[in-house]
Amino acid sequence: MTIAQHLATIDRLCSQDFPAEHGRSDTGTGGPGYHVAELATSDDFWEDDGTRWQETEEQFEADRDGLSERLTERWGDPQRFSLAGVFGRATEGEDIPEPWADLSSHVPDLHLWRTDDHGQARSHARWVALGVSQWDKELPFQLIAVVTEIDPP
């Protein structure tokens, strides 16, 4: 997918209602108060010696940064939000709201914007975030976008 397609997906998620229940969607996952879109997914790394893994990680981070530049034109500089502390709090038993609890287990950090209305019939702000996900060394990378009305913990 191209940056233009990724932006179109983010715009669509910003204008959609949130699902009533947690589950899969045509772009990823969602639930009450949030959408998580899987914008791009790499191959897995079961047979990799580490070289392809490193190149793929760098490419996904570059793709995130390129998309982040376009969103910065709209909403200003993003906050850099580490999810490491959120993950630690979740593993210690703190009740972390979704989508933040799940994201903290596979996304180390996010580029995060607080946005305004985005044409919604009801006026309220939302958070938009970009990150690079990887659940484990052998599994694919994913470029993800998050749209949520739930404040980061």
Residue 23 within a domain: no
Residue 8 within a domain: yes
pLDDT at 35 over 90: yes
Query: Number of folded domains in the chain?
Result: 1
Domain span holding position 10? 3-16+34-148
Which is nearest to 146 in space by CA: 87, 119, 106?
Answer: 106
Residue 22 within a domain: no
Residue 21 within a domain: no
User: Quick one: pLDDT at residue 1?
Assistant: 66
Residue 27 within a domain: no
Query: pTM higher than 0.75, yes or no?
Result: yes
Residue 121 within a domain: yes
pLDDT tens digit sequence for 80-124: 999 999 999 999 999 999 999 999 999 999 999 999 754 444 446
- Residue keyed to tokens 């009305």: 149
Residue 44 within a domain: yes
Residue 29 within a domain: no
In the chain, the DSSP E strands lie at 23-24, 28-31, 34-41, 79-82, 109-115, 126-134, 141-148
